[in-house]
Amino acid sequence: MSDRVSVAKTYKLYIGGAFPRSESGRSYPVTDSKGGFLANAAQGSRKDARDAVAAARKAFPGWSGATAYNRGQVLYRVAEVLEGRREQFISEVALSEGVQAKKAQSLVDTAIDRWVWYAGWTDKLAAVLGSSNPVAGPYFSFSTPEPTGVVAVLAPQQSSLLGLVSVIAPVIASGNTCVVITSQDRPLPAITLSEVLATSDVPGGVVNIITGRTAEIAPWLASHADVNALDLTGAPESLRADLERSAAGTVKRVLRNKVGEDFAVTPDMSRLRAYLETKTVWHPMGV
């Protein structure tokens, strides 16, 4: 029997719950840590980013309007599907990051646990971050956290799955929708994650995943007037100042992470809190 020729894959983007090719028609080869060919990934363009923002905006009312409990259930379901694809993730992480199988296994397990950790937060945010405020007058005053809106996420360049999960989960847990630019050289786990999201209960458009060159697409997202927040985690060092400056043009929230953030450590609430706005309501007593 002859050796079977393996099927070389050419992946596509994940926008609005569908898997379109890049508008530009471009793709680029993805290699493992030693330079061996793995697959072709779509090379997204600014117009793909624009379409992704439109999709995220369209999904926002439904996702932010869903009950926190329901969002939690949906995220748990994602963790279940992640678990089902565990072997695939382990091999992709091992190839992309050039780590041993055992290390890859621990990274994938931590990523799944991280997702579950954030899923548990959805219905506890309002209790922890909201408050009933004592005021000097005949009023009730309540503060409640509300999602910021559409978040542009530049995913970490090194940590291809754990880092990715650690930046996406907190954004959508609190009811935001997002456009993610994946790690430029290690996009495979992100592409598989998009297949996981498409086959779980997450509504189309809540997470949009674009592969390609971060430096090419990020400036368009930073200046886009319909993006409400920007996560700079995976931004190239040389671009950060410029991205922040153009984000200021439309007063976006900008998350500047600590350089060399260790995603293996159990996080605190800072990423959840970063994409929440506080709404305070005053209500007359006795009415």
Using CB under 8 A as the criterion, which residues of the chain lie in contact with other proteins when the complex forms? Answer: 50, 53, 57, 220, 223-227, 246, 249
In whole angstroms, how close is the CB of 200 to other proteins at the nearest point?
29
- Cα-based distances in Å from 256 to 27, 211, 226, 230, 260: 30, 21, 20, 9, 12
Q: Nearest Cα to 177, choosing from 63, 277, 270?
A: 63
**Long-range CB pairs of 128-137, under 8 A, 24+ apart, other chains included:** 128/269, 129/269, 129/273, 129/276, 129/278, 130/278, 133/280, 135/282
Do residues 42 and 77 make contact, with C-beta atoms less than 8 angstroms apart? no
The residue (of 56 and 161) whose beta carbon lies closer to other proteins is 56
In whole angstroms, how close is the CB of 223 to other proteins at the nearest point?
4
In whole angstroms, how close is the CB of 57 to other proteins at the nearest point?
7
Amino acid symbol at 144: T
In whole angstroms, how close is the CB of 244 to other proteins at the nearest point?
15
Q: In terms of C-beta density within 10 A (0-12 exposed, 13-18 middle, 19 or more buried), how is residue 237 classed?
A: exposed
The residue (of 51 and 97) whose beta carbon lies closer to other proteins is 51
The residue (of 29 and 65) whose beta carbon lies closer to other proteins is 65
The residue (of 223 and 257) whose beta carbon lies closer to other proteins is 223
User: Token pair for residue 45?
Assistant: 């363009």
| Phi and psi at residue 5, to the nearest 5° | -85, 125
In whole angstroms, how close is the CB of 52 to other proteins at the nearest point?
11
Q: Nearest Cα to 267, choosing from 120, 114, 119?
A: 114
The residue (of 50 and 85) whose beta carbon lies closer to other proteins is 50
The residue (of 149 and 170) whose beta carbon lies closer to other proteins is 149
Q: Which secondary-structure segment (H or E) carries 40?
A: strand 37-42
In whole angstroms, how close is the CB of 13 to other proteins at the nearest point?
17
